[in-house]
A and B are shown apart, each in its own frame.
Chain A
Amino acid sequence: MNITLRIWRQADAEAAGAMTTYEVHGISGDMSFLEMLDVLNEELALAGGDPVAFDHDCREGICGTCSLVINGIAHGPEALTTTCQLYMRHFKDGQVIDIEPWRATAFPVLRDLIVDRSALDRIIAAGGYISAPTGAAPEAHSVPVPKKNAERAFDAAACIGCGACVAACPNGSASLFLGAKITHLGSLPQGQPERDSRVLAMVEQHDAEGFGGCSQIGECTAVCPAGIPLDMISQLNHDVLAALPRNKGHGH
């Protein structure tokens, strides 16, 4: 296949960026989308050009590093699929493909297609954990967890922290990411003691990072590679409302 790529190029955080057009030839359907970009980059390098910077690591859909908006869709056209697990067989010979970075004020572009997602780490640092000092843990079987709750926690814990939800949300909200973590920890008995303080601290951090609010648009769930369902955002709101009256003096 021959493909025309229009790629966002931007030298660094301060520089202005623009879409630049490239042609790649001889692409096979068995190549992953990133392998197609590898081909482009090798050609660019040999021709004395500047390879396109893009984030990736595991290339098997689990680390959450890869992050491209492909033809306007975060992680591209296939549902439940990260960019690295997208294969070229889903594109047509001669197609024009637009490639852009995640866009959100909280995710500044560092170079080309790479953005800074450390805001998500700071949201976790604000409270996205269970305080379990090493060595102080009780015997694992001392707290049974009903299978239903364990499964719910698991569905939520599947979030790979990629940030596609933010990239897709018209409000630039990280509510799906946040809701997933709240649901994960809140569905488990171990997560109860810190449940109120956790949700309030994380919501505050979410807003302070400059993410927008959620108006239940649902674009996030369309692109989420981990299949995090929309109801986890409602769970988040539920927990916020439950915590607010109980935690008047929280943290300030």
Chain B
Amino acid sequence: MMSISPTRTRATASSSALHALMAVGGLIMVLFLLAHMYGNLKVFAGQEAFDGYSAYLRTVLEPLLPYGGALWILRVILLLSVGTHIWAAFVLWHRSRAATGGRGGYRYQSNAHRRGVQRSYSSFTMRWGGLTIALFVVYHLLHLTVNVISPGGASESPYLRMVNGFSIWWVVLSYAVALVALCLHLRHGIFSALASLGAATSEVRRRRFNQLAVLISAILLLGFLVPPLCILVGWVGP
């Protein structure tokens, strides 16, 4: 075989393979979010149920696993997913900039069609949207998991932490903004992940996967937003 270029990357590090890796991480996070959303909906069952659920997460599979073991396994998987996802995102971002002289879709002088012809807003915001989500997750963990930030008052009870926080309008607003960013990310991301994994190989599948992406994003948006909103308007309280 000829050696066309000395910088041949192995196929395993190809953009195609990295996208697949990123897609796996992303889809794991989607599954987590679906479960998380389901868990959150337990606020409607009252404080006991919700706190019990939180405790259950930590005691599940005991004594097979130590206290918090299952949760930690979950956390490790999540961390790996987030880690590879973000790592791959940055490598690909870098390659994309290198391939376009650092200017991506803005490399033409013409002011017309700067955003292309048919691309969706959702695909347009993947990268900055991703960063927004990252910032949100940090904020969110500090708020509801580690409880370092505690608008409305700290509490041992996750239920009360939520109620305290979401009684304040700007907390709800900040979550809402993040959720919109997240669901835009997923509107494109879920389809893209399935395509990256080589599943969208016909027109019909492409259409189905796009519908699926919209559906899951919408479910997540609603499912996550309903509890904070209900708390804000006072339907759910301490």
Q: Is the CB of A105 within 8 A of B195?
A: no
Contact A170 B16 (CB under 8 A): no
Q: Answer whether A213 and B202 are a contact pair too, CB < 8 Å, given A170-B100, A172-B96, A204-B10.
A: no
Given contacts A230-B206, A240-B198, contact A219 B117 (CB under 8 A): yes
A173 to B199, CA, bound (A): 20
CA distance A211 to B199 in the complex (A): 23
CA distance A164 to B118 in the complex (A): 15
A19-B109, A105-B100 as given contacts; A241 in contact with B197, CB under 8 Å:
yes
| Residue contact A218 to B118, C-beta cutoff 8 Å | yes
A30 interface hit (Cβ, 8 Å): no
Across the two chains, which residue of chain B brings its CB closest to A101?
B108
Q: Which of B11, B96, B108, B199 has the most CB of A within 10 A?
A: B11
Q: Let me know if A8 is at the binding interface, CB within 8 A.
A: yes
Number of interface residues of B (CB under 8 A): 55
Is the CB–CB distance between A204 and B205 below 8 Å? no
In the complex, identify which listed stretch (B17-25, B58-66, B143-151, B157-165) lies at the interface while the others stay far away: B17-25
**Are B100 and A100 in contact (CB-based, < 8 A)?**
no
For the complex, give the distance between the alpha carbons of A228 and B100 in Å. Answer: 22
Q: Cα distance A172–B11 when bound, in Å?
A: 18
Interface residue stretch chosen among B1-9, B39-47, B220-228: B1-9
Is A184's CB within 8 Å of the partner chain B? no
Whether the pair B99, A208 counts as a contact (CB closer than 8 A) is no
Measured between alpha carbons, how far is A173 from B104 in the docked complex, in Å? 11
Docked Cα-Cα span, A216 to B195, in Å, equals 8
State the CA gap A234–B194 with chains docked (Å): 8
Chain A nearest CB from B3 CB (Å) reads 10
Inter-subunit contact B203/A229 (CB<8 Å): yes
**With a CB–CB cut-off of 8 A, which chain B residues contact A244?**
11-12, 17
C-alpha spacing A105/B108, complex, angstroms: 13
A218 to chain B minimum Cβ distance, whole angstroms, is 6
Q: How far is the CA of A88 from the CA of B2 in the complex (A)?
A: 45
A40-48, A65-73, A132-140 - the one binding chain B? A65-73
Assess whether B11 is in contact with A171, with CB atoms less than 8 Å apart.
no
Contact with A along B172-200 (1 / 0, CB 8 A): 00000000000000001001101111111
What is the CB-to-nearest-CB distance from B222 to chain A, in angstroms, rounded to a whole number? 25
Contacts of B123 in A (CB 8 A): 215-218
Task: Kindly name the residue among B107, B110, B114 whose own CB sees the greatest number of chain A CB atoms within 10 A.
Answer: B110
Q: What are the interface flags for B109-123 relative to A under an 8 Å C-beta threshold, 1 for contact and 0 otherwise?
A: 111111011110001
Answer whether residue A212 sits at the interface, using C-beta atoms and an 8 A cutoff: yes
B205 & A231 in contact (Cβ 8 Å cutoff): yes
Contact between chains at A208 and B119 (CB < 8 Å): no
Inter-subunit contact A204/B9 (CB<8 Å) = yes
| A214 near B15: Cβ-Cβ < 8 Å | yes
Q: Is the Cβ of B99 less than 8 Å from the Cβ of A238? A: no
Tell me how far the C-beta of B219 lies from the nearest C-beta in chain A, rounded to whole angstroms: 21
Query: In the complex, what distance in Å separates the CA atom of A170 from the CA atom of B106?
Result: 8
Alpha-carbon distance between A203 and B15 when the two chains are bound, in angstroms: 8
Of the candidates B1, B98, B107, B110, which one forms a contact with A71 in the assembled complex, judged by CB atoms under 8 Å apart? B110
- In the complex, chain B residues whose CB is within 8 Å of the CB of A8: 109
Q: Is A180 an interface residue (CB 8 A)?
A: no
> A93 near B: Cβ within 8 Å?
no
The reply to whether B12 and A100 form a contact with Cβ atoms under 8 Å apart is no
Least CB distance from A186 to B in Å reads: 10
Write out the residue numbers on chain B whose beta carbons fall within 8 Å of the beta carbon of A251: 1
The 9 closest A-B pairs by CB, nearest first: A213-B15, A238-B198, A172-B99, A212-B99, A72-B113, A170-B105, A98-B110, A171-B96, A234-B200
Q: Give 21 pairs: A residue, B residue, CB < 8 Å, sorted on A.
A: A69-B110, A98-B109, A103-B107, A104-B99, A122-B4, A122-B5, A170-B96, A205-B8, A206-B15, A211-B99, A212-B92, A214-B15, A214-B19, A216-B195, A222-B116, A223-B117, A230-B195, A234-B195, A236-B16, A241-B197, A242-B198
**A interface residue numbers (CB < 8 A to B):** 6, 8, 19, 69, 71-73, 98, 100, 103-106, 122, 125-126, 168, 170-173, 175, 200-201, 203-219, 221-223, 229-231, 233-244, 247, 250-252
Beyond the given A238-B199, A240-B11, could you list 12 further A-B residue pairs with CB under 8 A, ordered by the A residue number? A6-B109, A103-B100, A104-B100, A170-B105, A175-B16, A213-B96, A216-B191, A218-B118, A231-B201, A231-B205, A234-B201, A241-B197
